[in-house]
Structure 1
Amino acid sequence: MTGPDRPFWQRLFEQNITPWDRGSASPQLLAWLESGTLSPCRILVPGCGNGYEVLALAAAGFEVTALDYAPAAVERVAAQLRAADLRGSVLQADVREWTPDDGLFDAIYEQTCLCALHPDDWMSYAARLHAWLRPGGRLFALFMQTLKDGAAQGLIQGPPYHCDIHAMRALFPASRWDWPAPPFAHVPHPLGIFEIGILLQPKPAA
């Protein structure tokens, strides 16, 4: 397998080495919720990490399913949901292989999963995102902008991996996805980098 494996992520969560962690739900998610752009529905959160967004969505009345590669992350988020008396399903799964067994989703919140996967896995993951959405479903995506010096020499450095907007246009092509017109939301990150927030919708099958 190319890129970080399950023991890598398990070790980080066991040792609380999560420098990408904001410590709270993303301000872009909160903006989508407050504006009504994202309203209660059946939603998937792949790569949920410490689960701030999972709790925020559950508290707002969403039917949430969350996935993570690391058992330590899954256990932490499940415990937080129980402690807050909130409902949600948290599953330990590899997003490159997982298939839902109880139907498709109205929405997917993609924040930290794509940038955590090695770029060799991006095409298969993007295909799964498309397949997990019901007709009319929507993808709420935050694309991490973390260009590193080694890119000029062709090095692939991460995680997090840089999600260049041109690469995202190729990964989620306009032939399959409706793209809004730029400029896109610019979401600052405590690491001094930023994310681009975009709402994408699969086009109806021809």
Structure 2
Amino acid sequence: MPGPTPSFWQQRFDAGDVPWDRGQSNPQLGAWLAAGALHAGQSVIVPGCGSGHEVAALAAAGCKVIALDYVAAAVELTRQRLHDSGQQAEVRCADVLQWKPDATCDAVYEQTCLCALHPDQWTHYAAQLQAWLRPGGVLCALFMQARRDSAGQGVIEGPPYHCDINAMRSLFRSSHWGWPKPPYAAVAHPRGWVELAVVLTRRAVD
């Protein structure tokens, strides 16, 4: 399998080496909740839930959340965070490239999963997201901007892998997804990265 393995991520969590973790939920999640892009009563899938900050925040906002991660440490952290905050969500140890929901959902919150997957896996992952969502459902995506100088020589480095907006347009094609007009909000990360916040709408196309 190209890219990081579950053991790679398990070692990072065990060592506390989680530089992507803000220690709180992403500020863009609060903006999306305030704007109604995500709201109470929605069924929301959070792939690659990590430490569970966003899972707890979505549950507190009244969403019906399914959180996924294939790393045992992440699942344990998310469950503990929910317990400590008095919130409830369904947390599953599962591979996002293989998992199938019992029913389609209203929204997917994509923050750290896509950029953690090797680009060879992106097409399959995008197909998974489309299959999880009902027509008209929304993909609230934070596309990681982590371009490195070595990209000029064709080197693929990560994680996090750089989610170039042109690559994202090709991956989430306008024939299958409704794209809002740019510019998109750029969310700064304490590590010096930037995430582009985009809400895509799944079209009724099989």
| Alignment TM-score, normalising by the size of structure 2 | 0.97
**What SS is found at the alignment partner of 1:191?**
coil
**What SS is found at the alignment partner of 2:17?**
coil
Q: State the match for 2:153 in structure 1.
A: 153
Supply the distance in 1 between the matched residues of 2:136 and 2:95 (Cα, whole angstroms): 25
Q: State the match for 2:202 in structure 1.
A: 202
Q: State the match for 1:113 in structure 2.
A: 113
How is 1:155-170 mapped onto 2 (pairs within 5 angstroms)?
155-170=155-170
Q: State the match for 2:47 in structure 1.
A: 46
Q: State the match for 2:84 in structure 1.
A: 83
**Deviations along 1:35-81, whole A, 9 cap, x unmatched?**
22211210000001111100100111110000012100101111111
Corresponding position: 1:186 with 2:186 = yes
Mapped contact 2:49–2:67 kept (Cα < 8 A): yes
Supply the distance in 2 between the matched residues of 1:13 and 1:193 (Cα, whole angstroms): 20
List alignment gaps of at least 5 residues for structure 1. Answer: none
**Deviations along 1:153-199, whole A, 9 cap, x unmatched?**
11100000000000000000111111001111111111111000000
Runs of 4+ in 1 over 2 A off after TM superposition: none
Supply the distance in 1 between the matched residues of 2:58 and 2:39 (Cα, whole angstroms): 9
Mapped contact 2:134–2:202 kept (Cα < 8 A): no
CA root-mean-square deviation: 1.0
1:174 aligned partner, one-letter code: S
Percent identical across equivalent pairs? 56
Supply the distance in 1 between the matched residues of 2:70 and 2:147 (Cα, whole angstroms): 24
2:124 aligned partner, one-letter code: S
**Deviations along 1:124-179, whole A, 9 cap, x unmatched?**
00000000001221100000000011101111000000000000000001111110
Q: State the match for 1:132 in structure 2.
A: 132
1:203: how far off?
Answer: 1.3
Supply the distance in 2 between the matched residues of 1:136 and 1:173 (Cα, whole angstroms): 15
Q: State the match for 1:92 in structure 2.
A: 93
1:83: how far off?
Answer: 2.1
Supply the distance in 2 between the matched residues of 1:75 and 1:27 (Cα, whole angstroms): 23
**What SS is found at the alignment partner of 1:136?**
strand
1:166 aligned partner, one-letter code: N
| Alignment TM-score, normalising by the size of structure 1 | 0.97
